[in-house]
Structure 1
Amino acid sequence: MKSQLADYLNRYTTFDSEEIDLIFNSLSQKIFQKKEYLLEQYQVCTYRFFIVEGLVRYFKTDSNGNENISIFGIENWWITNLDSFVNEIPSHNTIQALEKTIVLCISKNDLELLYEKVPKLERAFRLITERMLIAIQRKDEIYMKQSSKERYNGLVDQIPNFTQRVPQYMIASYLDITPEYLSEIRKNS
C-alpha cells in the first residue's frame, strides 16, 4: 500500500522515502464491504479517502428518492465531499462502496499537520484537486455536446472493465439516461 501511495503522489511532485513514511503513517486503513457507506448524506465528511482497492460511487438522493450519481471512484483516486470536509458542514451527497473497498484515509487535522511537516504535500493536493475539478468541468462540457452513445463509449474507453463492475442502472444514472436506453445502446454497440 505504501508503494502504491508513493507512486501516486510522486506523479505530482517528488517525495523522499522519509516523507512518504510520514505521510503513510498519518493515514489509517479502513475496509468497507459492498454497499457500506464511507459517507452518508447529511453526515459531516471527516476524511479524504485514497482508494487502494475497490470501487465507490458518489451520489445525491433527491426529495423523490432518486439517486443521481456524479462520480465513480476507482483504485488510485482520492474521493471526499470537499465542501463538507473543508467547511465541516453536513454533506448533501453520499459515498458508497460498490464492492469490497480498501481505503487509506486522513482527517482534516492530520492533513493540516502534514502540510506543515511536508509542505510539498499541499502542492500535490492542490494539483490533485485542480485535475479533479477540470475533469468535472470537462465531463459537463463534453456531456452537453455528446450523444448518449458517445458518452457511454467514452466511459468504456476511459475505464476498461468498468461496465462489468457497476450495475447498469448506476451507469445510466451517471450518464443521465434511462436504464432501458442504456440497454439499447449496449445492444447496438
Structure 2
Amino acid sequence: MKEQIKKHFSRYVEFSDVEIDEIYSKLTQKTFDKKDYLLKEGQICKSNYFLLSGLIRSFYIDNKGNEKITQFALENWWVTNMESYIKNVPSYSSIQAIEKTTALIIDKVELEKLFNSIPKLERFFRIITENMLIAIQRRNDIYLQMKSKDRYDDLIQHFPVFAQRVPQYMIASYLEITPQYLSELRKK
C-alpha cells in the first residue's frame, strides 16, 4: 500500500521516502462493505479518503425523494465532501460504497499538521483539487449540455470501467436520464 501511495503522489509532486513514511504514518486503513457509508447526509466530513480498491458514489436526495448521483470514484482517487470538510458544516450529500472498498483515511487535523511539516503536500492537494474542479466544471458546463446519447457515449469512451462495475440505474442517475432510456441507448 505504501508503494501505491508513493506512486500516486509522485504523479504530481516528488516526495522523499522519509516524507512518504511520515504521510503514511498519518493514514488509517479501513474497508467498507458494499452499501456502507463513508459519510451520511447531515454529518460533518472530517476526512479525506484515498481509495486503494473499490468504487464509491456521492449522491443527494432531491426534494422529490430521488437519488441524484454527482460523482463516482475508484482506485487511486481521492474523495471527500469538500464544502463540509472545509467549512465544518453538515454535508448535504452522502458518500457510499458501491462495492467492497478499501480506503486510506486522513483526518483533517492530521493533514493540516502534515501541510506544516511537508509544505509540498499542500501543493499536491491543490493539484488534486484543481483536477476535481475541472471535472466538475466539465460536467456542469459541457457534459450536461450534451444530448443524452452523447453523454452516455462520452462516459463509456472515457470511463469504460464504470459501464462494467456500476449498476445501470446509477449511471442513469449520474447522466440525468431515465433507466429506461439508458437501456434503449445500450441496445443501440
**TM-score range with shorter-chain normalisation?**
over 0.9
What number of residue pairs does the alignment pair up?
Answer: 188
Which residue of the partner structure matches residue 25 of structure 1?
25
Which residue of the partner structure matches residue 87 of structure 2?
87
CA contact 2:144–2:151 (8 Å) conserved in 1: no
Matches within 5 A, 1:62-81: 62-81=62-81
Partners of 1:143 and 1:125 in 2: CA distance: 25
The residue identity in structure 2 corresponding to 1:115 is: F
For residue 73 of structure 1, give the secondary structure of its aligned residue in structure 2: strand
Which whole-Å deviations, capped at 9, do the CAs of 1:35-94 have from their partners, x for residues lacking one? Answer: 000000000111100011000000011232211001001111000001111111100000
Partners of 1:145 and 1:100 in 2: CA distance: 33
Partners of 2:164 and 2:76 in 1: CA distance: 19
Bigger drift between 145-154 and 48-57 goes to 145-154
Question: Alpha-carbon deviation of 1:167?
Answer: 0.9
Question: Alpha-carbon deviation of 1:33?
Answer: 0.1
Bigger drift between 2-11 and 99-108 goes to 2-11
Which whole-Å deviations, capped at 9, do the CAs of 1:80-114 have from their partners, x for residues lacking one? Answer: 00111111110000000000000001111000000
The residue identity in structure 1 corresponding to 2:132 is: M
The residue identity in structure 1 corresponding to 2:16 is: D
Which stretches of structure 1, 4 residues or longer, exceed 3 Å deviation after superposition?
A: none
TM-score (norm 2): 0.97
Change in Cα spacing, 1:35 to 1:64, as seen in structure 2 (3 Å) is: same
The residue identity in structure 2 corresponding to 1:11 is: R
Matches within 5 A, 1:1-189: 1-188=1-188
Identity across matched positions, percent: 53
The residue identity in structure 2 corresponding to 1:53 is: S
Question: Alpha-carbon deviation of 1:149?
Answer: 1.2
The residue identity in structure 2 corresponding to 1:43 is: Q
The residue identity in structure 2 corresponding to 1:172 is: A
Partners of 1:167 and 1:150 in 2: CA distance: 19
The residue identity in structure 2 corresponding to 1:92 is: Y
Partners of 1:60 and 1:121 in 2: CA distance: 30
Question: Alpha-carbon deviation of 1:160?
Answer: 2.3
Question: Alpha-carbon deviation of 1:169?
Answer: 0.7
Bigger drift between 161-170 and 118-127 goes to 161-170
Partners of 1:6 and 1:65 in 2: CA distance: 42
For residue 161 of structure 1, give the secondary structure of its aligned residue in structure 2: helix
Computed over aligned residues only, the root mean square deviation of the Cα atoms, in angstroms, reads 0.9
Unaligned runs of 5+ in 1: none
